[in-house]
Amino acid sequence: MAKQGINTAAQCRELISEIGQGNYKPVYLLMGEEPYYPDLVCKAIIDNCIDETSKDFNETICYGADVTAEQVTSAARQYPMMSDRVLVVVREAQLMKSLEQLSTYCEEPLESTVLVILMHGASADKRKALYKTVQKTGVVVDSQPLRDYETPAWISSYYSSRGLTIDPDAAALLSESVGTSLSTIAVETDKLVRALPEGTTRITVADIEKNVGVSRQFSIFELTKELSYRNSTKALKIASHIGNGARFALPMAVSALYTHFSRILKYGALLQRGGYPSSEEKARALAGVNPYFYKEYDQAVRNYPAPKAMRIISLLCEYDYLGKGGDGGNSDPGELLVELIAKILSA
């Protein structure tokens, strides 16, 4: 999992634990391109901050497009009625034209008020007063998206937190199917768990294929595997099938292949140093790869020594350009993928 992802996850676990114990910060600035963690913390605050019987008097939930900083400040300066605190939540706060003006209130927030500034898929300007002030008087959650190659590890960790285990190849397949959106992964997991027999704790590739609607046989995950072993017939067959998909986008496929061959190049450089690399050295060279797949890379570095890997990476840059319309958009993306795979295999 990404270092930042781990830090954000740990920070939010700690915040949610504090919230459950009744310990609140006066101001929460919840922001970032990845909305999963900000939404999670906001939900925990709304669920726990104000007793259900006194929400009408002490809870205000509004939307940034509908309010001004003056109105939010006025609500935040109210004193609680038959409650320990007042809660003010500004959803979609990035739409508030006067958002930065909230920094004045945040400089000296009331101890009896919890103000939540929730930005959906957006971030406050870190150079300006609001961000800097909340850092001093409250807490900032800055949730950034994972990279493609980091997502399988996040999935494994997420499943573990829910008392489940997921096979490494199943995590890779799920990642390829749903992308890097953590909220989507959580939703698909809920659907998957409901569909499986009660008491199931181990998730396999077959479970993902059956319940998420994706086939391992024709996936980028399987394509990179067949390339690692230089299984030409299978690799070309998979490439043809993927390229004919309705949602196929060549740049995404090239990105996954670039990550794969960059790892092969780094791992090959490590092995060329001589001696047997430590597990820590392997983990650095194969960042984001579950040790379950190390055997595949042992074979891949034999099939693609450094000169070949470098030629392939150069090829990938060329086809990334073509996939983004570099030839005027005249080539069929599926045909380009098959052509690319053929060139990789003959490199």
Query: Which of the listed residues 91, 115, 142 is the one where a domain comes to its end?
Result: 142
Question: Residues 183, 297: one domain?
Answer: no
pLDDT cut 90: percent of the chain above it:
72
What predicted TM-score, i.e. pTM, was given to this entire model? 0.75
Q: C-alpha 311: how far from its chain's center?
A: 30
Question: Residues 159, 83: one domain?
Answer: no
At residue 164, φ and ψ (nearest 5 deg) are -120, 155
Domain of residue 308, residue span: 218-346
CB 337 within 8 Å of CB 264 = no
pLDDT exceeds cutoff 50 at 6: no
Q: Tell me the per-residue pLDDT of 267-285, one tens digit each, with 9 for 90 and over.
A: 999 998 877 888 888 988 8
DSSP 98-121: TGGGHHHHHHS--TTEEEEEE-SS
DSSP 137-182: HSEEEE-PPPPGGGHHHHHHHHHHHTT-EE-HHHHHHHHHHHTT-H
Q: Residue 236 sits in a domain of what CATH number?
A: 1.20.272.10
Residue 184, Ramachandran bin (φ over 0: left; ψ between -120 and 50: alpha; else beta): alpha
Q: Tell me the per-residue pLDDT of 192-233, one tens digit each, with 9 for 90 and over.
A: 999 999 889 999 989 998 888 777 778 888 999 999 999 999
Q: 199 Cβ partners below 8 Å, 6+ apart? A: none
Question: Residues 225, 304: one domain?
Answer: yes
Question: Residues 195, 272: one domain?
Answer: no
Question: Residues 67, 169: one domain?
Answer: no
Q: What is the dihedral of CA 315, 319, 321, 324, to 10 degrees?
A: -160
Query: Which of the listed residues 197, 214, 231 is the one where a domain comes to its end?
Result: 214
Question: Residues 153, 135: one domain?
Answer: no
Q: Give how far Cα 299 sits from Cα of 72, 149, 155, Å.
A: 60, 20, 26
Q: Tell me the per-residue pLDDT of 233-279, one tens digit each, with 9 for 90 and over.
A: 999 999 998 888 877 889 889 988 999 999 999 999 999 887 788 88
Amino acid (one-letter) located at 91: R
Question: Residues 277, 326: one domain?
Answer: yes
Structurally, the chain folds into a number of domains equal to 3
Question: Residues 240, 205: one domain?
Answer: no
Question: Residues 63, 173: one domain?
Answer: no
CB 15 within 8 Å of CB 139 = yes
Question: Residues 137, 256: one domain?
Answer: no
Q: Residue 90 sits in a domain of what CATH number?
A: 3.40.50.300
Question: Residues 326, 275: one domain?
Answer: yes
**Selection from 6-20, 102-116, 210-224, 317-331 with the highest mean pLDDT:** 102-116
CA–CA gap between residue 309 and residue 263 (Å, rounded)? 10
In the chain, the DSSP E strands lie at: 27-31, 59-63, 86-91, 113-118, 139-142, 165-166, 202-203
Query: Which of the listed residues 191, 214, 237 is the one where a domain comes to its end?
Result: 214
Q: Give how far Cα 322 sits from Cα of 36, 319, 330, 339, Å.
A: 34, 5, 9, 12
Q: Residue 160 sits in a domain of what CATH number?
A: 1.10.8.60
Question: Residues 136, 66: one domain?
Answer: yes
Q: Is 201 helix (H, G, I), strand (E, B) or coil?
A: coil
